[in-house]
């Protein structure tokens, strides 16, 4: 890359990207005349119906402003304050939500499970649940899985079903943090139902922001009983948008002709391209299997510093360390090649 050229797109996060054209057009279309507030509008009804169509089941759908709220409020709806939630030690609900899941559930404890490549395995659940069964231990109630994971890997339907069997045997519900659910579906090439309700997921936090929407995640309750009074929980938590059509309309734009999967597949492909440039280099260690839109790599310190000096932004503190190189719906082949060329010149 020409070191003096401005870098327009980075590899720090998929939320660095702007709004994709389909979401933008849907926003503009919704921006006409007046519409009923607080979700009783046609955009919100249609977006929820489309989500039901995509998942091929009758589920309850709510739109909230962000992923932290989606996770926290849905987990709160699954748990009493004396319960516990099992999640991977690198899970966003544990590391990046400032205690919001515990806060909104009035004290439900998050218990950490380890496992390779950012994934929980059934044995980890067994260990954590059977470690203690006395009254002094916060009663395990839910397993929270992130799909795609914080380390850029993806649970297969078979892995999810194995977790479900274990969870069911202990009476645990399953929550899925799907901030990058679209990337997981695109990566697996499966139907959305295969990695959600057909694999035992009770609640999915379906991420829109990282997929190209300006703001907003959908909370999808496959276990509809858990959705009871969730609208009140959203309102109390400051998550009921008065101009709801501007949260829901972009979902229509994304879902109606498959833009959500096209954008996710593109981001995944850009990460694959980046990985293929980095993997052959002896001084670069790829840390986890690249299965979605992130590449995690260990780079020599002077290379990291050199890339930062050239203006590239990426994180070095996510998950278990290493550099997280995240691609978005708008990452171009040229962006990848420019970054790789700069990196190679510093090795």
Ligand X SMILES: Cc1ncc(COP(=O)(O)O)c(C=O)c1O
Residues near ligand X (CB under 6 A): 66-68, 92, 146, 150, 177, 179, 209
Closer residue to ligand X (CB): 144 or 198: 144
What is the C-alpha separation between 20 and 284, in angstroms, rounded? Answer: 32
Closer residue to ligand X (CB): 78 or 284: 78
Q: Could you tell me the CA-to-CA distances from 193 to 56, 188, 198, 201, 330 in Å, in that order?
A: 7, 12, 6, 9, 27
At closest approach, how far in Å is the CB of 280 from ligand X?
29
At closest approach, how far in Å is the CB of 86 from ligand X?
16
Q: Can you say how many angstroms the Cα of residue 22 is from the centroid of all Cα atoms in its chain?
A: 20
At closest approach, how far in Å is the CB of 294 from ligand X?
10
Q: What is the maximal distance between C-alpha atoms in the chain?
A: 63
At closest approach, how far in Å is the CB of 308 from ligand X?
21
* DSSP-based helix, strand, coil % in the chain, nearest 5: 45, 15, 40
209: which residues sit within 8 A by CB, 6+ positions away?
Answer: 15, 66, 67, 179, 215, 216, 217
Count how many Cα atoms sit within 13 Å of the Cα of residue 200 in the half-sphere of its side chain.
Answer: 22
What is the C-alpha separation between 57 and 191, in angstroms, rounded? Answer: 12
At closest approach, how far in Å is the CB of 66 from ligand X?
3
Closer residue to ligand X (CB): 16 or 137: 16
Closer residue to ligand X (CB): 71 or 198: 71
Closer residue to ligand X (CB): 67 or 138: 67
Burial 202-223, CB ≥16 within 10 A → b, else e:
bbbbbbbbbbbbebbbbbbbbb
Closer residue to ligand X (CB): 60 or 150: 150
At closest approach, how far in Å is the CB of 167 from ligand X?
20
Nearest to 146 by CA among 221, 204, 98: 204
The residue number whose beta carbon is nearest to ligand X equals 67
């Amino acid at each position: 890359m020409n070191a003096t050229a401005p870098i327009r797109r980075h590899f720090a996060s998929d939320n660095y990207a702007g709004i994709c054209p389909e979401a933008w057009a849907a926003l503009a279309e919704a921006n006409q005349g007046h519409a009923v507030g607080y979700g009783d509008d046609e955009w919100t009804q249609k977006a929820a119906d489309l989500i039901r169509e995509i998942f091929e089941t009758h589920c309850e759908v709510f739109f909230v402003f962000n992923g932290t709220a989606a996770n926290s409020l849905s987990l709160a709806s699954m748990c009493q304050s004396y319960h516990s939630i099992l999640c991977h030690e690198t899970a966003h609900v544990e590391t990046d939500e400032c205690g919001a899941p515990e806060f909104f559930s009035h004290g439900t404890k998050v218990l950490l499970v380890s496992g390779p490549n950012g994934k929980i395995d059934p044995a980890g659940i067994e260990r954590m649940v059977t470690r203690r069964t006395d009254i002094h231990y916060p009663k395990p109630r839910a397993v929270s899985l992130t799909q795609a994971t914080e380390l850029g890997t993806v649970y297969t339907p078979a892995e999810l079903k194995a977790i479900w069997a274990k969870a069911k045997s202990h009476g645990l519900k399953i929550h899925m943090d799907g901030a990058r659910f679209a990337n997981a579906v695109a990566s697996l090439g499966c139907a959305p139902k295969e990695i959600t309700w057909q694999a035992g997921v009770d609640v999915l936090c379906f991420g829109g922001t990282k997929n190209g929407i300006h703001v907003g995640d959908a909370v999808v309750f496959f276990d509809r009983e858990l959705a009871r009074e969730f609208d009140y929980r959203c309102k109390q938590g400051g998550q009921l948008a008065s101009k709801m059509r501007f949260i829901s309309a972009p979902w229509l734009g994304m879902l109606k002709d498959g833009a959500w999967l096209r954008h996710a597949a593109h981001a995944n492909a850009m990460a694959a391209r980046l990985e293929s440039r980095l993997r052959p280099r002896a001084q670069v260690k790829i840390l986890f299997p690249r299965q979605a839109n992130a590449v995690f790599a260990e780079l020599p310190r002077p290379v990291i510093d050199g890339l930062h000096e050239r203006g590239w932004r990426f994180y070095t503190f996510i998950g278990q360390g290493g550099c997280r190189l995240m691609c978005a719906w708008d990452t171009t082949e040229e962006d990848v090649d420019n970054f790789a060329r700069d990196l190679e010149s510093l090795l």
